[in-house]
Amino acid sequence: MAKIRGSIVVNIDRCKGCEVCMVSCPTGTIAMAKEVNHKGYFYAFPANPDLCIGCASCAMVCPDGVITVYKTKI
Amino acid sequence: MAEVTGIKEIIKPENLVYKKTKLMTDKVLSYCPGCGHGTAHRILAEIIDEEGLQSETIGICPVGCSVLLYEFIDIDWQEAAHGRAPALATAIKRLLPEKFVFTYQGDGDLAAIGTAETIHACNRGENILIIFINNGIYGMTGGQMAPTTLPGMRSSTSPYGRDVKIMGNPLKMTDIVATLLGTYYVTRQSVHTPANVKKTKKAMRKAVQYQKLNKGTCFIEIVSNCPSNWKMTPVQSNKWMEENMFPYYPLGDLKIPAEQITQKTSNSEKND
Amino acid sequence: MEKELRLMKGNEAVAEAAIRAGTDGYFGYPITPQSEILEYLMEAKPYETTGMVVLQAESEVAAINMVYGGAACGKKVMTTSSSPGISLKQEGITYIAGAELPCLIVNVVRGGPGLGTIQPAQSDYFQATKGGGHGDYHLIVLAPASVQEMADFVELSFDLAFKYRNPVMMLSDGAIGQMMEKVWLSPQKERSKTVPGWATTGKPPTRERIIITSLDLDPNAQERFNQKLVAKYNEIREKEVRYEEFQLEDAEYILVAYGTSARVCQKSVQLARNEGIKVGLLRPITLFPFPSKRLNELAGKAKMMFSIEMSAGQMVEDVLLSVNGKVPVYHFGRMGGIVTAPEEVVEFLKSKIGG
């Protein structure tokens, strides 16, 4: 059976660290960084990239549109 | 651009499923972290882009947090005085009936100072879309009580909570406009979860289609958050919104076109 | 095509002239003494002939904001009202001035303050010429003195408004609005099909998006914009002054009066001259820009000047500034909706000459 795999790209500079993507992610892919971006926000990043299914939930709720989503079948 | 990525092998153009629409400009949004305005903007921009309406659209900006909206979406804009957007939109649509005309307004703008303009534009059935962002507070000026502030809710001008005996009751503008003969489609949505984003986007797409029919005003309320002035984290504010705002401002359609009702009825009859 | 002769009220003349000038939109709200304008347009139904939009708004506030929206699309749009309604419109007017949009606002002035009276007055001069709303701005202000001018100034107003991207006010009053006179009407003009480059029409991929706004949060940019406006107003002061002179050749005493008062003063000049007093009249047609230069020249030759206006003395301040101390300046005029009588002006004149 083909497995769906996803991957996200987070624009660190524009992330405001609101965490809405993190709580919207159904697979626990996203976490907040321990370090801050140049604006002082703890930015979101794919802490568990293997879990990503490319559902784009994170990107849809991101107020600042900083997440790009890719998806493929393996 | 500094970025972090997931599994690199998957990141190929052919695998792209979601990217910020090109109609959103590169300007960094002026909103606080987690504010629903940004999401609402993006949904709107996506709809205009997907429907191929960039060259046909004239938008009206409000006064309030989204006063600089014209910096963020790449279409022609007019900036209205506080509350007057529906009056501008009325004239634009009547003078340029082929264009897609919408206003984007907050609760102070639409439901307090612009009450008359809102109600009368809807009552005349102006063939425009009104997008109403309701976060129950005056955000831009620093968190004062809005017409939609909930009973007991604290703000800088209701520091002990909104006392409805002194300060009046929250105004359900969307319920009011739904009763007007001029409105064609009235709905209340939110943008805080992926499912709600999808529903809001669907509502906006409908409104765009309905405007082409020339049958009256479409009105979309988006119940939203204001983490900074509610003094919560964004995630907490969304939870608070679900628990407190939604019971008072329940999500869903308040008025759908009569044709749809007929359609639904006949469908259900068939099913029976 | 030839001009057409009709007998009309000033208010009706504005409405008919608006249709004939190819106006794209009219947005009004009833108020005495100018309701005939909206009534006339609703009866004429120009939306069926020229395509002109006519709409009764829910308030003067809404009407002026409809004008803003239409003007920002590059359309010829207008509104009309009377004093209390014009006060309500001031918010919209300052935004229109700040966004540099062309439009026509007609004020058929009645007495105030407050609800005042429904009878004619000239007590809105300050409001019309000094800004009216908040912020540093000016309207171009035209003062008709006849039904003919109420008709003619519609097209002139639009020409000036589009030339300078600035709102124009026609400052009439209840007397001229309500009186009936013969008027030569221009033939019907087609509505313009050209769209100014600055107008919002929907952004094609070939150009930058257009933003109509009066907002600039950067103080330096805002100051640059203010300076741009000042330069525009100075150009208007330089090029657009209009006035009419009446028996000024040998005048020792000069009356300055606009609109209804100017009509009264024509008679006063005749009465005074019958008694051997050399009086003349300068009638400003543009109140902004004010004919200051001409008044200053005349002040060198005259003994006294008189600002005759149906107000507590408003234009008199501009006359004083214009003559800059060269001659004594007096104000006279009735208020409360009373039109000054020609004889009263002569009596006042004699009281000052004698004294």
Cα(B192)–Cα(A45) distance, rounded to whole angstroms? 19
Mean pLDDT of the B148-155 span: 97
pLDDT at C99: 98
CATH number at C266 reads 3.40.50.920
Write out chain C's pLDDT in tens, 355 residues.
789 999 999 999 999 999 999 999 999 999 999 999 999 999 999 999 999 999 999 999 999 999 999 999 999 999 999 999 999 999 999 999 999 999 999 999 999 999 999 999 999 999 999 999 999 999 999 999 999 999 999 999 999 999 999 999 999 999 999 999 999 999 999 999 999 999 999 999 999 999 999 999 999 999 999 999 999 999 999 999 999 999 999 999 999 999 999 999 999 999 999 999 999 999 999 999 999 999 999 999 999 999 999 999 999 999 999 999 999 999 999 999 999 999 999 999 999 998 5
Residue B258 scores a pLDDT above 90: no
In percent, how much of chain A has pLDDT > 70? Answer: 99
* pLDDT at res. C296: 98
Domain boundary among C219, C238, C257: C238
Pair (C27, C128) in one structural domain:
yes
* pLDDT tens, chain A, 74 aa long: 678 999 999 999 999 999 999 999 999 999 999 999 999 999 999 999 999 999 999 999 999 999 999 999 98
Q: Is residue C215 part of a domain?
A: no
C217 in a structural domain: no
Whether the per-residue pLDDT at B263 is higher than 70: the answer is no
Neighbours of chain B (3+ CB pairs under 8 A): A, C
User: C273 and C289, same structural domain?
Assistant: yes
Closest among B45, B61, B156, B51 to B103, alpha carbons compared? B61
Closest by Cβ to B235, choosing from A7, A23, A65: A23
CA distance C95 to C113: 24
Q: Which residue shows structure tokens 């035209």?
A: C142
**Per-residue pLDDT reduced to its tens digit, A48-69:** 999 999 999 999 999 999 999 9
> Alpha-carbon distance B90 to C206, whole Å?
27
Does the pLDDT of residue B271 top 80, yes or no?
Answer: no
Residues of B with CB below 8 A from A45's CB? 4
- Domain assignment present for residue C218? The answer is no
Q: Are B221 and B187 in contact (CB under 8 A)?
A: yes
Does residue C184 sit in the same domain as residue C268? no
Asked whether the beta carbons of residue B227 and residue A52 sit closer than 8 angstroms, the reply is no
A47 touches B at CB < 8 Å: no
pLDDT of residue B267: 60
Q: Are B225 and B192 in contact (CB under 8 A)?
A: yes
If you ran DSSP here, which 8-state letter would residue B111 be given?
Answer: I
For residue B140, the model assigns a pLDDT of 93
* Residue A51: domain span: 4-73
Which residue type sits at B120? H
Q: Are B104 and B68 in contact (CB under 8 A)?
A: no
Q: Model confidence over C197-213: pLDDT tens digits? A: 999 999 999 999 999 99
- Residue B111 has a pLDDT of 97
For C348, the domain range is 243-354
Whole-number pLDDT of residue B272? 46
Cα dist. C275→B15, B192, C269, C270, C346 in Å? Answer: 98, 85, 10, 9, 10
Closest CA to B150 of B258, B226, B236: B226
Report the CATH number that the domain containing residue A9 is assigned in CATH. Answer: 3.30.70.20
pLDDT number for residue B1: 73
- Cβ burial, residue C244 (10 Å; 0-12/13-18/19+): middle
CATH number at residue C198: 3.40.50.970
Q: Which residues of A touch B6 (CB under 8 A)?
A: 6-9, 29, 46, 49, 52, 70
Residues C128 and C24 in one domain: yes
Residues of B near A (CB-CB distance < 8 A)?
1-8, 10-12, 15-20, 24, 28-29, 31-39, 42, 191-194, 197-198, 227, 233-235, 238
pLDDT value of residue A2 = 75
Number of folded domains that form chain C? 2
One domain, residues C164 and C266: no
- Under CATH, which architecture does the B29-271 domain have? 3-Layer(aba) Sandwich (3.40)
Number of structural domains chain A divides into = 1
Query: How confident is the model at residue C110, as a pLDDT?
Result: 98
* B67 → chain C, closest CA residue: C215
* Touch criterion met for C and A (3+ Cβ pairs within 8 Å): no
B266: confidence class by pLDDT, cuts 50, 70, 90: low
CA distance C20 to C155: 9
Residue C333 forms part of a structural domain:
yes
Nearest chain C Cα distance for residue B24, angstroms: 12
Q: What would the pLDDT profile of B12-65 be if each residue is shown by its tens digit?
A: 999 999 999 999 999 999 999 999 999 999 999 999 999 999 999 999 999 999
Identify the pLDDT of residue B265.
62
Contacts of C314 (CB under 8 A, 6+ apart): C122, C123, C125, C126
Sheet holding A4-11, edge to edge: B3-5, A4-11, A67-73, B16-18
In sequence order, what are the residues at sequence separation of 6 or more whose Cβ sits closer than 8 angstroms to the Cβ of residue B207?
Answer: B102, B129, B185, B218, B220
**Boundary of a domain, candidates C183, C212, C238:** C238
DSSP β-bridge partners for residue C248: none
Contact A29, A8 (CB under 8 A): yes
